Each structure stands twice: as structure tokens, then as C-alpha cells.
A and B are shown apart, each in its own frame.
Chain A
């Protein structure tokens, strides 16, 4: 074999791969006829929604399918060797030294009872590499962990999420594998951390010449980080090709939908169009400016010096104060969407809870339509609850699994004693129409619905009492990209039709760009910047906001086109 042939040989080649899972209801084909290749040193991204088979395909390559899964057709060829049905011994040999893995959730993938250094050493030992303290420290510091020798002696719970992911990357790369499989490596992390981690991962793999198979749900991120993108849908590869070509000229209907809907890309498109002075038609948020609304321009909700202090249990029974929300002031005009953006721990969810009257306010005030929320008691509070309703992040957790859909949506009406049984049924049916769910679904239970459908039910329940303010706490974060776009659309439509006011709590600036009129950026409990969405995005005044904006994946991808 000549030298050039050797170089042109793919490192990983997946041919007509089929994977089936044995389940209680029979065999389920998770992956069908999938093909993709990874060349040495290349970064390939597999993009798809949950259940598309993207992780399953990658796990099969490393021989880590769950016990009820099996490859039932096709081949997996690693560096010329067919490892589809390789012996366990051979697979163990390949793992670590040839194929490394960075798992998705840094919180659960480090063993909490062992020191981080020990866990790195384990990997080094297993692959027959030197595993002295200094080797461990070197590996950790290569992953960008400061004070590595000290850090190695700490336990995972002493690490932040970003540091844990660095530790996992260092474990994955410690034996200098030729292929690194990164399964949603940064999905659980804040955007700014995500960016530094991915940057670092890229530098490291470039230096080592490691090929990366990146699995992600974010097309913008995939296109930014990989040369080649493979789009999977319902267990099949529907499109594969050079990242930019695929992004600018998607051919398969699914890819086209995906490109249209990805929030990071959509928000970029808005930026680009604005820069060119064009009106954007795929702007999701409607900004109704009716006469009525301008007349009502008075501030609907006024938040003044809002502060929340939690007492943490310190040592020896002393309590320490922790200020979760620190002197936050902003106002929400009626009929608009105000987004509160921040990373985890910024206090944004605490603001939402206080707005809903679920957490007592330490100091400061929330004035809702002229009423001080903190002073509401008994009947007044009950009446207030009717006017302010929440929609939560997790559509799997926010619906009582024992209630069918009808009972779920009827509950607010029953609790507030609205109408007779007949009238309530009428109202529930209207609400189902409003959120575009079929009437036939009323008798079903939440576990039978998809994520988006559940979120629609949650929206219908929130709207049952004709509230004026809806607090959306990460309402679309747990949904697949296309579903997310649909739900955002639905929320915008409902706002237009019903004149709702939204307080939108999110970590995702890309979503903010699509839906919000005003933005409040929070960092560590403090409000760092506030203003209209356009002004904040076009002219961010604080460094933190600039960082957040720069961290939206896909920068330069659309502009270049």
C-alpha cells in the first residue's frame, strides 16, 4: 500500500450500519443503513434530535451499546480493521488507547467517591502508560485545569461543571487516542464555559492530530466546529457533507427545516439582515404596536431593588447569608416579552419564583399592576395567582403523571371555581384548540405525549384562567430544535391574540433574540445590563454581555454566506 493510499484511508468508516434494541414491545430498529466516515485528524459532527440515533451510532463504534442493543447489519471499520463484531478483549484494547470518549453529563460521569487524580491515573494505568503523580498533573493541566497537581487531590464535588468536563476531556485524551468521541460534551454547561471548553478541545486535538466525532443537537455548533456534518433523522443519515455547504445549501427537507429553525442560526440571520438594513421575515417574535398597546405603555410590572438572601447552614450551626438576587430593578411593559438571561447561578430562576409569589422577598418590591406582591395575603394572593401563571422547563416534570390531559387543564378552572362542569369542559376544548392539540388527546396521560405536546398542555393549563402575565422558566430549553421553534411560534401567536405579557427566563441568548422585546442580563445575582433586545444585541455595553453574545455558536457562518 502506498503512502498516499494509507493517508486516504478513513480512520473510522461506518457502512450500512443497522442497530436494533430489544424492548418489552419487541425489537426496535434504532439505526438503519447509516454511512459516514471520519478521516484521520478530521472533526465530524453528527447532528440530530433526541431519538435520532446519533449517540447510538457513536456508542456502537466504541462497542458500548447497552446490553439490549445489537448491530444487526453493516460494518464498523476502524483503521482498516472490521470491529463490528470484535471480541470484547479487542474492544477493551481499542478503547482509551485508540478511541477515547468524552461523555455528555460531567455531573454523573466522574465517580464521586474517588479523587479526580485517581480516576485519571486509572485510565493511564489501564493503557500501560506512566501514571506517577506528575503524569496525572500533566494530563490534567493539558486539559486547561489550573493548579493541576492540587486539583488532582480533590474530589469531583469540589469541581465546577466546566472543570469536571475538563477532567473528563483529560481522561478521554490522556492516552492520546486517534479518535475522540465527544457526546454532547458541553450541553450541560453554560455558553461561555461551552465556548472555552470547545476551543480548548479543538487546540488539543489539533496538536495531537486526533480525529473527533462530535455528537450534538445544535447545527450551529456542529457547523462551527466540524469540517463535515452528518445529519441523522429517525435512525437514518439524511444528509452528509462539508459543514458550510450543508448549512448554506441544505438539500434534504429535514436539513432545510433544521437550518431554518436552529435558534443560534436564526438569531445570526437576524443580526446579518439587520446589519444589511433588511427586514427579516423569519423573525419569530411579533411586535404588535396597536394603538391600545401604546396607550397602555405604563409599566405593568415594576421590580425595584429586588433582593433575595438565602440562609445557608454553615459550620457549627452558624448560618451564612447567600445573596441569590442582589438589588435587581427592571420593569415589564404590558403586552411585551421581557427576557431575563443568565448562566446557572445567576439568580434568574429565583426572580421567576418571587414573581410567581412562590418565594418570600427579602427586600425590595415587585409591584404588579399597582399591587405590591409581597403584601398579598389570603384572598388577594389567590386572585393574584389567577393573573400570573408559570410554564416550566421540563414538560416531563410539570404535568402530574396521574392526571389525564382533561383533568390537567381543568384543574385551574376547578380550583378557582370557574363555571359549571359543562362550561369548564367547553373552556378546556377551546384551550386545546388554542394550543393546536386534537380533542382526542383529552383522555390521554402525559406519558403518552411527546415533549412538545406536553409543553402545549402546560401552556393550555397556564392560559386556562386568562392570566395577564406568563412566567416562562426555560420553557423551551428541554425541547428539540424544531419543536422549540414551534413552541416559540405558538407563544408569539398567543401573545398577539391574547395580549399576554411574558417574563421569559432563559440561558439561551439565541432564543432571546427570536422572542424578546427587552432583555435583562444577570450575572451572579446582579443585573449587569438591561435594554431593548435590539440595543443589547447590537451594542452590548458590558463585557459580560459581549462574551455571552460571542458564545452563541455559528458566528461568521451566515455572514460569510
Chain B
């Protein structure tokens, strides 16, 4: 069977000869007046105008060929939602810039030794007070902190902790919030009621206030670090994702393909995992990307307040916090980690925006 000829049982394919039709095409003939409509619903066609203007027009069949019914060309590679989104994304400057910046940040976090001039946490590295608040110089492009440490190396070294908190929190929020939201949306009823109210409770607590309280608890106080911070941020961050997931699942839940799967005998859980969640993921991924940036900010805020990462750990938030006292005399140690933070957050938000445009079918129609 030829590739593009999809139909074979054409209902009306009897004896059409396009060439013969073409020859008599474009015939204009004045209406045969004897052929008055006899139907019961027909209007009475009288009046002076009717007979004169009604002619039978037939387009030239050679210029208006009738294609195979219901055919569609099957050229080019198959296009899934993601591939289609990728096609659009790679043409977007905001996406390219954001992606390059994120790539850079990730490389810095994984391999900081490629970038720093000295390892700020190594025993051999000493912060010399003679360099306190020193200006930028060779090998120290961003100057020195009040303690005389190299700002550039510290910014590079702080990337890992900040990014770790952001990524791990996002993963935790998507898994926990996504699961809770999916269960609430899929099963509805009292499960939905309980889970939604639970989410509302956490939603109503301001993140900073909640984190202040939780981080004061003895256990958290004793084990301050990336993981405790991630736990606290996930605890207060999941309801947002849960709400979005719930909405997306409710929308997908009644689709015909879900009913089809049910009548195939697929189990409830199977339908949820194989059909509903994959189709409801797009908005969650968009929001997760954007909130990744806000989690990095939250880490910095909490570290700045002294309840985030322990001071011994290098992070942008801690650096900003340390440098704030000398801000008026030497703003640069605040500026550089701040810039790194802003650029990272901005690129994640830009990435999220670009993803939203590419994944949202309504926006795509424009």
C-alpha cells in the first residue's frame, strides 16, 4: 500500500473521471426554469430577480482536484508533545539564554575547582585581614570580604549549596505535592476534602514564619544542613504543586481515553500512573521550574536570617548575610553573590515561562 494513500474504501469513488469533468468544467448555464423546486419547505422562487441570477457554476476540476477523503501526508518525523515543544523552544532567545545560564550554574556547582582561583574551604586558604574589604585585584576579580576572603572563590563555592537546596526542594515538592494532588483529584470525594484542607493549612502559614518555628525545634537545630532545610521548604511548598496537579488531574480524569482504558480493564492505579499523570504533568513542570528559583531565594533568605544553612557552609545567602555589616563601606561582597543569585533565579523563571508557552496548547494556537 502506498504510504500516503490512507483510505481504500471510498464511499463515492464510482466512475469519476477528473479529466472528463475538467473538459466540461467551468460551465455556466442559466437555470432551467422548468426545474422548479417541489419540496415542501422550499420557498416560492418567484420575483424578477431569482431566475436571472441563478446560474449553475462548476469549478474546473483540474484546478480543484478532489483529494483522497481523509488523507493526511505522513512525512517528517513523528511529533510528540515534548518534541513539538522542543521545536518551539529552541527558536526562543529567552529559552536559549536561560538554558545556557542554567547550564553554566550547574557546571559551576558540579566542578567548582575549574573556576575558583583558590579553594575557600581548604585548610591552605587563609583569609588575610590585611586584605579586608580590599578592592578587586589580579586573581581576585571581585575583591575581598571584611574578613579578607576572596569574594569570587566564595561565590563559586556557594553555588553548590544554593543549587542543591533549590533542586532537591523542587524534586521533593513535585513528588509529594504531585502525588497528593493527583490522589485528591483522581479519587475526589472525602479524600479530596481531607487532602485539600490539609493543603490549605500549610498554604495559610507564611513560609518564613513557619520555617522560623520549625528550625527552632531541637532536632532541626541540632542537624542544620542542606537536608533539613529541604525538608522544611518541602513541608511548606507542596500545597502549591498539589493544587495545580489536582486541577490538571480533574481536567484529564473524565477524558474519553481514560474511559477507554477503564473499559479495557486497566486498574485505577494503572490509569492514574499511565494515563492521567503523564497528561497532567505539563503545568506542574512549568510551575516547578519557576518555583525552583523561589526556593533558592528562600534558602538565601533563611540563611540571611541565620536559620538556614549553618554558617560553616558556604552559600550565597550566608555570604550576603556576612557581608551586610560592612555594606556601606564595601557593598561589593553583597553585590556579587546577590548577582549570582538573581541571575540563577531569573534564568529558572525565564525557563519556566518559555516552557509554559511551549506546553500550553491554548497559548500555542495563537
Contact = CB atoms under 8 A, between A and B. Distances in A.
Contacts of B59: 236-239, 252
B259 A392 contact: yes
A24 B364 contact: yes
A37 interface: yes
Given A8-B49, A257-B12, A252 B279 contact: no
B64 A436 contact: no
Interface stretch (A308-316, A383-391, A533-541): A383-391
Contact of A560 (B38, B54, B278): B38
B12 A404 contact: no
Contacts of A437: 6
Interface in B278-296: 278-279
A39 to B, nearest CB: 5
Contact of B35 (A237, A244, A445): A244
A357 interface: yes
A496 B366 CA distance: 46
B54 A257 contact: no
Interface in B200-224: none
Contacts of B130: none
B312 interface: no
Interface residues of A, number: 98
Interface in A209-227: 223-225, 227
A355 to B, nearest CB: 10
Contact of A39 (B4, B53, B256): B53
B159 to A, nearest CB: 35
A202 B41 contact: yes
Given A257-B66, A398-B256, A486-B9, A245 B263 contact: no
A304 interface: no
Nearest to B32: A245
A227 B56 CA distance: 12
A440 interface: yes
Band of interface residues on B: 35 or more
Contacts of A254: 64, 66
Contacts of B278: 400, 402
A390 B35 contact: no
Interface string A240-261: 1111111000011110111011
Interface stretch (A74-82, A360-368, A446-454): A446-454
Interface stretch (A88-96, A149-157, A170-178, A409-417): A409-417
Interface in B44-62: 45, 47-50, 52-59, 61
B70 A486 contact: yes
Given A252-B64, A480-B70, A555-B39, 9 more contacts: A68-B366, A238-B59, A243-B42, A392-B259, A400-B278, A404-B80, A448-B72, A458-B260, A486-B11
20 contacts: A39-B53, A68-B366, A202-B43, A236-B64, A238-B58, A238-B59, A239-B56, A239-B57, A239-B58, A242-B54, A244-B35, A251-B21, A253-B61, A356-B263, A388-B263, A401-B81, A436-B6, A436-B7, A438-B1, A556-B41
